[in-house]
A and B are shown apart, each in its own frame.
Chain A
Amino acid sequence: MSTHDEHGMPPLSAEVTPDDLARAAAHSRRAFLFKLSLALNGVVGAFMAVPILGYILGPALRKTSSYNFWVALGSVTEFPAGQTRMAEFVNPVTGVSDGMTAKVACWVRHIEDQKFQVFAINCAHLGCPVRWFEQSRLFLCPCHGGAYYEDGSRASGPPERGLFQYDYTIANGKLMIHAGAMPTLANEACNQKKPLTQIQTPAVDGMAGSAGKEV
């Protein structure tokens, strides 16, 4: 751009210094058009960024609650009172290529009558699958040795809290849980203040903190 432009510039005169020439070249029509073309591409890029970011951030922009639905774990009679058993369900939100990973496991503890606790399989420490030991009435995690009592409360090890719990309800003799997103500290910690069960009536929402409610 610093070289003299024969077509776009007025003829040299004594008063014109090389500095002026350079400044003039920087403001020539070609320079202007070049800058304009850059600006145009900047605008096009910004337009293009919107759908691209929307696509990439799509999963993040969706609320966790929008992933959660009521899922049947099976008939209540499959879970004898006083026992803790593993149950599995197909995640309510799945993709075409999920295969066996669409399945989710959880622990169902039938306390008595209509009282249940449904625990996430994922350890509250780092998400590894906890195992139930009937004899010692403990859940143990194979990764870092977290241990939980049968009511899901923390017994020992690195977890900061007890096992994550799904909200449940009993409908037509079936045990239903509200599930859909992998339980983690980020979404379960919120649950203690705000229940997952947005589809329930406000009256029931008022009972938020207590697991073991029924509809």
Chain B
Amino acid sequence: MANAKKNNPSVAGKTLAWFDHRLGLLKPAMEAAEHPTPERSASWWYVFGSAATVLLVLQVMTGILLALVYTPSAAEAWNSLQFLNHNVTLGWFLRAMHGWGSDFMIAIVLIHLVQVFMFGAYKFPRELTWIVGVFLLVLTLGMAFTGQVLRFDQDAYWGLGIGASITSRIPFIGDPMVHMLLGGPIIGGATLSHFFALHVFVIPGILLALVGLHVWMVLRLGINEWPMPGRIVNKATYEREYHETTEKTGIPFVPGAAWKDAVFAAAIILSVMACAWFLGPIGPTGQPDPTIIQTSPRPDYAFLWLFAVLAYLPPELETPFIFIAPALAIGAMLALPLLFGEGEKHWSRRPVAVVMVTVIAVALGVFTHLGMHEPWSPVMNAWSGDAIPAAYLKNRSPLERQGALVLQNKQCRDCHALGGVGGQRGPALDGVANRLTEDQLIRQVLQGGGNMPAYGKALSPAETHALVSFLETLRGKDEPPAEDYSRKLANSGAMQVSHVPAYLSVH
């Protein structure tokens, strides 16, 4: 464009010059676009930050478009989402883009974080860029949670209940904090308005401002060079070396590196569109009627791991964990560049970093997987829906079959699987007679224990007798039932001969 302006003062060139004389933005913009980038950093590994920014723009755009129709009122929100899905031309597609865009954005932000961490890009002088990035991650997750609430369905309603219950565990000020969160005494209109304001004004405002700061620092400090084993970051010499290298061997960001960012951004947007087109909008599930309790609330995928952790924590550890663990995690991420601002950048020289990333990724993956399958939750309709395998009833006495009925009717199946079908909260009952004797079965059923409620009050003696008779038949073919050795001895009379050791009384 500079050439065009000089050689051929066309109308376009003149217009541009008129504006730039008043704005003065052309020169700094060109400088920013052409800032020297370390040659090897013009890599496909460096495209995730720009992709996250592009996704943010997509979210802002689709969000504004949804706001044209969406009604942030507890009485209307769910209906307005149905209206968007079914009555507004391409409303479903816009909702789908916004929903899938948010999933992609979290994924890309996490990948960006891991890449920056593994490449040591948080080290001097880019500590503050990383710290701002940590806040951007928290804000992105905040957008995901508040956005999930705006999809004002059953999951959103009970998700807010979980949020309020967690908040209520804050020591001393739990109660007022719950009312702050909900905007009143219950989950209702004020709650949705609060989350709408957060999702649409407060968090995006801070997010956009911090993204500006983040990008400004990237431009000012330069793109991280490709880490090399043995190339140590030293605060005294790093900046001089970086500038010398980039001035000598660097390439202008536009077009040298930017084309990869652009291609990746296009691929990501296309992927979002493909997911939106083929998989459709996310929800809404059932309407947020608090009296419809036939529901299994579950958070969106970004929070499934947390959902799983909350199921597995021992009760007494839960409250401390909920408040201390996130504070420690965020605190550690904020402190990271300040504590380890110098030294090796290359992953092959940072085994602890590699192990940490691997362990955290595997843990998050496993908990997310568990969160999808919820093995800890009773299967509420297994007792009425899942049949007992026919083989388990063949050649059984009437009493044992009566016991099988008791097993179904008393909802044992909700927590215990038979033939691979049923709840997974408790152990599967195939083969239970291999493990427990009749006495142990009766005790376990009546008194409970471990994670099992006591059924003493819910079962008559006859029902217990029948149930245990049936459970006694549940063992592998040709496998002996569990035996109580002391009882055998007692029955044989050997116990009465107290001075003869048991092992001498051979039968």
Measured CB to CB, the residues of A under 8 A from B are: 56-57, 59-62, 64, 67, 86, 88, 91, 93-105, 121-122, 125-131, 133, 135-138, 140, 142-145, 147, 149-150, 155-160, 180-182, 184-187, 190
- From A93, A103, A138, give the contact of B184 (CB < 8 A): A93
5 CB contacts below 8 A, A to B, read: A101-B186, A103-B289, A156-B452, A158-B313, A182-B164
Contact mask for chain B residues 314-346; partner A; CB cutoff 8 A; 1 contact, 0 none: 011010000000000000000000000000000
Contact: B414 with A140, CB < 8 Å? yes
Residues from chain A with Cβ under 8 Å of B188 in the complex: 91, 94-95, 97-98, 101-102
Query: In the complex, are the beta carbons of B315 and A185 less than 8 A apart?
Result: no
A residues near B174, Cβ cutoff 8 Å: 184-186
Contact between chains at A135 and B73 (CB < 8 Å)? no
Residues of A within 8 A of B377 (CB): 142-145
Q: Is B395 an interface residue (CB 8 A)?
A: no
1/0 per residue, CB under 8 A from A, across B78-89: the answer is 000000000000
Q: What is the CB-to-nearest-CB distance from A179 to chain B, in angstroms, rounded to a whole number?
A: 9
Shortest 9 CB-CB distances between A and B: which pairs? Answer: A99-B75, A97-B189, A186-B174, A184-B168, A155-B453, A127-B161, A60-B176, A186-B168, A127-B165
Nearest-neighbour CB distance to chain B for A47, whole angstroms, equals 23
By the criterion CB–CB under 8 Å, are B448 and A180 in contact?
A: no
In Å, the complex CA distance between A138 and B456 comes to 12
Q: Nearest CB to that of A184 among chain B residues?
A: B168
Taking CB atoms, residues of chain A closer than 8 Å to B192 are 97
Q: Chain B contacts of A185 at CB under 8 A?
A: 165, 168-169, 174
Stretch from B223-231, B252-260, B293-301 forming part of the interface with A: B293-301
A155: nearest chain-B partner, CB-CB: B453
Verify B448–A137 contact, CB threshold 8 A: no
Cβ-based interface call for B353 (8 A): no
Partner of B315, one of A59, A100, A149, A158: A158
Q: Contacts A57-B180, A60-B179, A143-B377 given: A128-B289 contact, CB under 8 Å?
A: no
**A122–B163 Cα gap in the complex (Å)?**
12
Q: If A128-B297, A187-B168 touch, does A98 touch B178 (CB 8 Å cutoff)?
A: no
With A97-B73, A100-B289, A187-B175 known to touch, is A131 a contact of B169 (CB < 8 Å)?
A: no
Closest chain A residue, CB of each to CB of B308 = A144
**In the bound complex, CA of A125 to CA of B75 (Å):** 28
B43, CB-defined interface residue at 8 Å: no
Closest residue of chain A to B289 (Cβ to Cβ) is A100
Measured between beta carbons, the chain B residues less than 8 angstroms from A187 are 168, 175, 178
- Structural contact, A121 and B293, CB atoms closer than 8 A: yes
A133 proximity list for chain B (CB < 8 A): 411, 414
Q: Are B158 and A127 neighbours in the complex by a CB distance under 8 Å?
A: yes
A155 surroundings in chain B (CB, below 8 A): 448, 453-454
Number of interface residues of B (CB under 8 A): 72
Q: Which residues of B contact A140 (CB under 8 A)?
A: 378, 380, 414
Q: Quick check: A121 and B290 within 8 Å, CB to CB?
A: yes
Please state if B73 and A99 are interface contacts (CB–CB under 8 Å).
Answer: yes
Residues from chain B with a CB closer than 8 A to the CB of A125 are: 165, 310, 315
New A-B pairs, 7, CB < 8 Å, besides A95-B190, A101-B74, A158-B313: A86-B291, A98-B186, A101-B288, A105-B290, A128-B297, A137-B458, A144-B376
Query: Are B180 and A126 in contact, with the CB atoms below 8 A?
Result: no
When C-beta atoms are compared, the residue in chain B nearest to A67 turns out to be B185
Q: How far is the CA of A95 from the CA of B166 in the complex (A)?
A: 24
Q: Are B453 and A143 in contact (CB under 8 A)?
A: no
Query: How far, in whole Å, are A10 and B287 apart by their CA atoms in the complex?
Result: 77
A158 in contact with B310 (CB, 8 Å)? yes
Tell whether A145 pairs with B378 under 8 Å between CB atoms, given A59-B183, A101-B290, A104-B186: yes
Contact B184 A95 (CB under 8 A): yes
Minimal beta-carbon separation of B7 from chain A (angstroms):
43
Q: B83 to chain A: closest CB distance in Å?
A: 15
A62–B291 Cα distance when bound, in Å, is 26
Residues of the B chain whose Cβ atoms lie less than 8 Å from the Cβ of A181? 179, 185-186
Q: How far apart sit A143 and B287, CA to CA, in the bound complex (Å)?
A: 18
Are B380 and A184 neighbours in the complex by a CB distance under 8 Å?
A: no
Q: Does B311 sit at the interface, judged by CB under 8 A?
A: yes
- In the complex, what distance in Å separates the CA atom of A137 from the CA atom of B454? 10
What are the residues of chain A within 8 A of B169 when measuring CB–CB? 185-186
B57 vs chain A, min Cβ distance (A) = 30
B494 interface residue per 8 A CB criterion: no
Which residues of A are found within 8 Å of B367, using beta-carbon distances? Answer: none
Q: Which residues of A contact B295 (CB under 8 A)?
A: 129, 142
**In the complex, how many angstroms separate the beta carbon of A117 from the nearest chain B beta carbon?**
15
Given the contacts A97-B193, A181-B186, A59 and B457 also touching, CB distance less than 8 Å: no
List residues of chain A with CB within 8 A of the CB of B288: 100-101
Q: Which residue of A lies closest to B459 (CB)?
A: A136
Q: Cβ of B75 and Cβ of A145 under 8 Å apart?
A: no
Q: Closest Cβ of chain B: how far from A161's Cβ, in Å?
A: 9
Q: B458 and A101: CB pair below 8 A?
A: no
Identify which of B164, B190, B409 contacts A184 (C-beta below 8 A).
B164
Q: Can you list, as one digit per residue, whether each of B152-167 has a CB less than 8 Å from chain A (1) or not (0)?
A: 0000011001101111
Indicate if the CB atoms of B162 and A127 lie closer than 8 Å.
yes
CB of B97 to closest CB in A, whole Å: 27
Is B166 within 8 A of A157, CB to CB? no
A160 and B316 contacting across the interface, CB-CB below 8 Å: yes
Chain A CB within 8 A of B392 CB: no
Give per-residue flags for B428-455: 1 if the beta carbon is below 8 A from chain A beta carbons, else 0: 0000000000000000000010111111
- Which residue from chain A places its CB closest to the CB of B378 in the assembled complex? A140
Query: When the two chains form their complex, are residues A59 and B179 in contact, meaning their CB atoms are under 8 A apart?
Result: yes
> Which residue from A98, A121, A122, A142 sits with its C-beta under 8 Å from B378?
A142
B156 CB to closest chain A CB (Å) equals 10
- Please indicate the chain A residues that have their CB under 8 angstroms from the CB of B451 in the complex: 156-157
In whole angstroms, what is the CA distance A136 to B423 when docked? 15
- Given the interface pairs A95-B189, A99-B189, the reply to whether A158 lies near B318 with Cβ below 8 Å is yes
The reply on B182 being an interface residue by CB < 8 A is yes
On chain A, the residues within 8 Å of B307 by CB distance are: 143-144
Q: Are A138 and B180 in contact (CB under 8 A)?
A: no
The interface bits of chain B over 350-383 (1 if a CB of A lies within 8 angstroms of the residue's CB, else 0) are: 0000000000000000000000000011101001
Query: Residue of A at shortest CB range from B192?
Result: A97
Q: Does B76 interact with chain A (Cβ within 8 Å)?
A: yes
Contact: A105 with B183, CB < 8 Å? no
